[in-house]
Every structure is written in C-alpha cells, then in structure tokens.
Structure 1
Amino acid sequence: MALNLSSRAARTACAASKIAARPIATVIPSRTYSTEQTNEDKPRWSYTPTQAKAPFSLHLNSTRPAFHVNSDPVLLDRFYTRLFANNGEKLLSEETKWLAVTHKSFDQGRRGFNDRLAFFGKRIVQLQASLALAQSSPKGGVPGENNTDEFGRVPFSHPALEGLNSLSVENKNILTDRTKLAELAKSYELQTVLRWSPRKPDDLRASGIDLVLSHTLYAILGALSLEQGSVVAAKFARERILTPLGLKHLK
C-alpha cells in the first residue's frame, strides 16, 4: 500500500513539474502586426482562396506554356462599354462583371465560374429566338393558300400565325449556332477579357475557344437579367445577339 501511494505521489509531482516548466510564451498567445493587405481586403476575383491551395504544385517540371488572361479592370470596362454601349460598364456589379467572363477551367474554378449564368442566359436567347421566328413572315407564304380542298373548305388563317411554319428546332439551332455566336463574341472582342485555361495554349481552336466564347456570351446575358431585369435582358438578346445573327424586324 505504501508503495502504491509513493508511486502515485511521484507521478503527481512529475506532472506538476511539467506544467510549471512550460514557458510563458506558450500560454499567452502572441500577436503579430502587419501593414500588408490581407486577402479579405482584395476583390474576390483577384486571388485564389488560401484554403483552396495545395501545399505544392502537382505539375512538376511542366513544359506547358503559360497562358495570360486579363486582370485589368479598365480593359474589362472597355469591353462592357463596347457590348452594352455607353455606360455599359455600370450595368453589372464589379464582382459579377468578372464572374461572367470566368470559365470553370480558369484557376480550377477556385475563384468562381459562370456555368449557372450561362445556363440562364441560353434559356433567354432560346426564348427570344422562338418569339422572333414565330413573328417572322414565312418564306412560302401563308400555309395552305395554294392548296384547294375538294369540299371547298378554307383553313383558318391569321397574321399572328403566319410565322409558325418558321418556328422549328432546326431553324432555331441554325440561328443560334455555336460558331456564329463565337464570331459575334469576337466582334465584341470578348476574347481579350475572357478568363480561361485552354488545354492547348498554342492551339485555341483545338482547345474549344468557340464553345467557351458562346458559353461566356450566354453568361453575360444571364448576369444582365439577374441584375437589371428581364426587360433589359430581352432587349439586349434581340438587339445585340439575334439581330446581328440574321433576325430582322424583331418586335
């Protein structure tokens, strides 16, 4: 019994000595003061979140050439002015302007990307294209005007229904073809502000730049609709996308 008590007392004394030997610096947390700008003070689009970074790069000794993307807000504002006309850079918030032109391939998607905006924008273009085709005059005249019925029946016709023959999936796909949208985006110089990481930096066409440009144009329209409303977005889709692609006299 005495041996057990002495062993217990020895362990207690040993533990107490370890606690007493701890330096004060480990008990009181130290404070560091820095005048450098932290990531929280920077715009979200301008940096990769610290917690999303790996401790080292997996691309060791990579021979892939670097691909430069725009990081100049002035250049981005000039693009939106070309696209939306005067004061176009003020239609979208600062963060949304960058998000709309950021593809998911850029920085592994760690700064946000425009997939959901593009999905929304594409639906708007498809709707406006359907309305425009339904309002257009049929190339072959009024359906059934040259067909005679043996019983003398006359099919119902109305000016509002004359364009229904033009409304088809094929016509809509031809109108909103990816290549045409990409050429339209290039005419607005979208490629100068597009943020993406091509698979082959020395061959952008093989990397799918046409798809990325059309995707980004849809995303800009989706962002415009969310921040300025459906009326402004529908007008932009008709006047700045569908009319240059060949649809005229849109109401």
Structure 2
Amino acid sequence: MSARTSSSGRIISDLLRTSRASPSCDHLRFRQAFCKTPRQSRHVSTAAPQLSEMEVDADRPPRWSQTPPALKAPVRVRPPRIQTPLKINKDQRKLDDFYVRFLGRDGDKMLSEETKWLAVTNKSFDAGRRGFNDRLAFFGKRILELQCSLGLISVADASRYPKSKELDPYGRQPFGHPATESVECLLGGAHHWFTSHKQLSTLAEQYGLPEVVRWHPRDPDRLQASGSELVYSQAILAIIGALALEQGGAVANQIAKEKVLVPLGLKLNWKPKAELAQPSQPQR
C-alpha cells in the first residue's frame, strides 16, 4: 500500500514539475535580442571614395584634354573620312593669348581653365563628348541682346541707324522727343544687325578666334559652307555667358558693350540723353 502511494506521489510530483510555466520560444528570442550584452565591433570599408562633381581627381586628366574612357566605343563602326582634318589647337598658351586680346589685360585669368576650353568648344568636336558651349552661348546671347537694346535706346544720334518704315494708315504723327527718338531703331533692323552671326563672326576673326576654336567642319576646305559663322559667333557669346557665371553680370555687360558692340559701331561719339532733354540755357 505504501509502495503504491509512493509511486503515485512520484508521478504527481513529476506532472507538477513539467506543468510549471516555462519560457516560450518567443520569450526566449525576445530576451536574446534585447538582453544581450552589446559587443564592440569595428566596420572597415574597402570601397574607393566617391568624388563629387566639383572635385577633381589629381591623377585624372581634365575632361577637355581627352575623351572620357566611358564614352569610347570598343570598336569603331563608321570608317574614317578620307580628307585632311582641320588642325585643332591644343596649346594652352595660345588660348590664353586669345583671351588677352579679347578681354584685355589679365583676360586669361578671368575664367577657370576648364571653362576657357569649354567656351571655345563646339558640339561637333569629338561628338560633344568633351563638353560644348551651347548653354553658355544661349546665356551670352540674352546678355548681348539686352545690352544692344539698351544701347540703341540711349544713343544720341539715331539718324545713322535704320528705323521702321511702316507708316500710319491715317497719317497720324507720333509724339517726338529726343529721349524717345531712337526707340524705332529696335524695329528697323539695327538690333538684328549688331547681334547677327555674320557680324559677330567677322569680329571673332579680328580677335583671332578661328585659331583656337575647337570644331570639326563637314568640309575642312570650305569652312564657311560648313557653318563657320555660326561656330565663331557662338563662341563669342559663350565667353560672355561664362563671364556672367564666374565674374558676375557687371563684368559680362561691360565686355559685351566695350569688346563687341562698340567695335561693331554702336554708340560712337554719343552724348547722354539727359543733356538733350534739358533746354539750352542762353549764354551770358
């Protein structure tokens, strides 16, 4: 009887021992995740440092000097043309001499080296893989057109510029005043003449721009038929736009007036209009 009682007691104690609340699997994972002692670890990265767009690797040559390797095809598909290519300038000193002739003293120091080459590079050169001056020329054209309009409006003697020939159908005469006399020059073709590609390219040749501009003409023996006027004038406008970005609008306006518009014949021997508007005082 006693043996049966002891065996039954042992069985009950075993059942009670196994029925105690034991930590579940979720509870154990929670304790392992949050109650673990932190370990000091050191992470070492072997990746190469990434340079920003404004930083330049000292070992990597500048973009203007060579074609970026990522833009080169492994095999040339189109056969080379059988013609003498146009000689492209690669001399930095020759480029600096042009900027001194165009911008004046210390003109080679007004722009960064990369911008100086970019301003004289056309889209046709190396298929545009080294950068080109389209955006700079667009900005510079807006500046030159504005200064040309201001110059035509403020010119004293407007009789030497063509005016609009449209007559009023009713024979009415507009109000005349020395301060508004030259407004009609904006519609008479003078504005288009000063900002045309032909005049700007002629001026660029006087400064020696064709010797340093970088472009690939379709026919090297016929530069004008290949669009040299557009290329030269676009380079002049791109330099003005680059000056506005790096030196400010005041410098770009001054260069546009003194180095482009005045040599083309705008505002020669002119007087301020404030003097014309004032009545002349009798001499005593």
- TM-score when normalising by structure 1: 0.75
Could you tell me which residue of structure 1 aligns to residue 197 of structure 2?
A: 178
Structure with the greater alpha carbon radius of gyration:
2
Structure 2 gaps of 5+ residues are 1-56, 161-172, 273-284
2:185 to 148, 166, 189: 166
Give me the whole-angstrom Cα distance separating, in 1, the residues matched to 2:75 and 2:253: 46
Listed one character per residue, the Cα deviations across residues 177-218 of structure 1 (whole Å, up to 9, x for unaligned) are 221111100000000000000011121111110111011110
1:133/1:61 Cα in 2 relative to 1: closer, same or farther (>3 Å)?
closer
Alignment check: 8 A CA contact 1:39 1:47 kept: no
Alignment check: 8 A CA contact 2:185 2:191 kept: no
* 2:215 aligned with 1:196: yes
Identity %, equivalent residues: 50
* 2:217 aligned with 1:206: no
* 2:146 aligned with 1:114: no
SS of 2:184's partner is helix
Larger fraction in helix = 1
User: Which AA in structure 1 matches 2:159?
Assistant: K
SS of 1:41's partner is coil
Alignment check: 8 A CA contact 2:120 2:213 kept: yes
1:138 to 158, 183, 190: 158
What's the RMSD between the two structures over aligned residues?
Answer: 2.3
Structure 1 gaps of 5+ residues are 1-37, 141-153
Could you tell me which residue of structure 2 aligns to residue 227 of structure 1?
A: 246
Listed one character per residue, the Cα deviations across residues 75-111 of structure 1 (whole Å, up to 9, x for unaligned) are 1111101111111000000100000000000000000
Could you tell me which residue of structure 2 aligns to residue 4 of structure 1?
A: none
Give me the whole-angstrom Cα distance separating, in 2, the residues matched to 1:67 and 1:59: 19
1:81 to 94, 100, 104: 100
Could you tell me which residue of structure 2 aligns to residue 90 of structure 1?
A: 109
| Length, aligned pairs only | 203
1:61/1:39 Cα in 2 relative to 1: closer, same or farther (>3 Å)?
farther
SS of 1:48's partner is coil
Give me the whole-angstrom Cα distance separating, in 2, the residues matched to 1:61 and 1:227: 39
User: Which AA in structure 1 matches 2:83?
Assistant: R
Listed one character per residue, the Cα deviations across residues 164-189 of structure 1 (whole Å, up to 9, x for unaligned) are 12222622112222211111000000
1:52/1:61 Cα in 2 relative to 1: closer, same or farther (>3 Å)?
closer
The runs of at least 4 aligned residues of structure 1 exceeding 3 Å deviation read 154-159
Could you tell me which residue of structure 2 aligns to residue 58 of structure 1?
A: 77
1:216 to 221, 235, 251: 235
